Amino acid sequence: MVTTYQPSKKVLIVDDDSSIRETLSNFLSSKGFRVESAENGYTALKVLQRSPFDFLIVDVDMPKINGIELLSYLKEWNINIPSIIITGNISEEIRKEASRLKVWDVIEKPFSFNDIFLNIQQGLDKTELLNQK
């Protein structure tokens, strides 16, 4: 598939690890994305209420509202944003939940920035194709 990367798409990074949020934010910003971040699912919900996003990167294990709960809330509210899950502990249960929630991919930490970038591009491309139909 040919990637039709479009700069200035908005990405929300949700992770309780500030170094991951900062490094990913810097990397994605350098690729032309507009990036915001949240330290947990609760804060992410507040951010999502005030502004739309084109893509989500969500950690699983976080305080208050974890990544699976966040994505479940969005699904219940019919908010469809392409997403990837990042986690240090991939389990069969997480893969099942990701499938149920129609998450684009599950990526294990430590991850490659290129893997993240390619997943975002592919997720955005697929979403754009579906929206054109």
Q: Domains plus CATH for the chain?
A: 10-132 (3.40.50.2300)
What's the pTM?
Answer: 0.91
pLDDT tens, residue by residue, 83-117: 999 999 889 999 999 999 999 999 999 999 999 99
Check residue 128 and give its pLDDT: 79
The whole-angstrom separation of Cα 132 and Cα 126 is: 10
Q: Are 19 and 25 in contact (CB under 8 A)?
A: no
